[in-house]
A and B are shown apart, each in its own frame.
Chain A
Amino acid sequence: QVQLKESGPGLVQPSETLSLTCTVSGFSLTSYSVSWVRQPSGKGPEWMGRMWYDGDTAYNSALKSRLSISRDTSKNQVFLKMNSLQTDDTGTYYCTRALPGGEGYWGQGVMVTVSS
């Protein structure tokens, strides 16, 4: 079945770079697109960006200068890197399998705290 699992550090220092990995199973990254979505505690989700099935990428303009999404199809992994982290980047980060106009399957999420 379709599964996505995020992994990465739970604590990041301010001004440092966040690196997360989304490992997928049950589908191919060359057939389906994967998004990154984050959610501050108690707030609504925020769409960050997408790795399209054809290798193209799309980013939220609010984060574009700090964000990079890449993939390794041989390992079934999608990567997120975001630099210059601040305290308001704290929250739960999810990867999702996108469908036209929405996010179909969600990973369990990884909680990231930005603090010194």
Chain B
Amino acid sequence: DVVMTQTPVSLSVSLGGQVSISCRSSQSLVHNNGNTYLSWYLQKPGQSPQLLIYKVSNRFSGISDRFSGSGSGTDFTLKISRVEPDDLGVYYCGQGTQYPPTFGAGTKLELK
């Protein structure tokens, strides 16, 4: 299975600040069809995960442009700008290129 490694494990940020979360996969996530199926999710306290970004850099429906994804191959980054209180929680990256789809262990975003 593809192992997804996220760094850091936790992150402290001031409101209005900017943060980056890294995700590295144990194998290339470039699919045979040319697409790269790397997604980012946010799980707020007590809630289900919600999709933020799919195929590396595409924002899901209703997601603010303060969230941006980038990367290629095995290295990916999620950037959050102008952090708001509602952004706090655990962020997961996930891959859907190789079966079975797998997720990272999460990065917890907290207030400084």
A residues with a Cβ closer than 8 A to B are 35, 39, 43-47, 58-62, 94, 99-109
Contacts and interface: CB of A to CB of B under 8 A. Distances in A.
Main DSSP-derived SS at the B contact region? loop
Contacts of A101: 31, 35, 37-39, 54-55, 95-97, 101
B58 to A, nearest CB: 10
B40 to A, nearest CB: 9
Contacts of A46: 103
Interface of B: 1, 31, 35, 37-39, 41, 48-51, 54-55, 60, 92, 94-97, 99-106
B92 A44 contact: yes
B96 A94 contact: no
22 contacts: A44-B92, A47-B102, A47-B103, A58-B99, A99-B51, A100-B96, A101-B31, A101-B37, A101-B54, A101-B55, A102-B39, A102-B51, A102-B55, A102-B101, A103-B39, A103-B49, A103-B101, A104-B60, A106-B50, A106-B51, A108-B48, A109-B48
Contacts of B100: 47, 59-62
B54 A44 contact: no
Nearest to A94: B48
Most chain B beta-carbon neighbours within 10 Å: one of A61, A106, A107: A106
Contacts of B50: 106
Contacts of B95: 101
B105 A43 contact: yes
A108 B24 CA distance: 28
B105 A106 contact: no
Given A43-B105, A44-B103, A47-B103, A104 B96 contact: no
Contacts of B60: 104
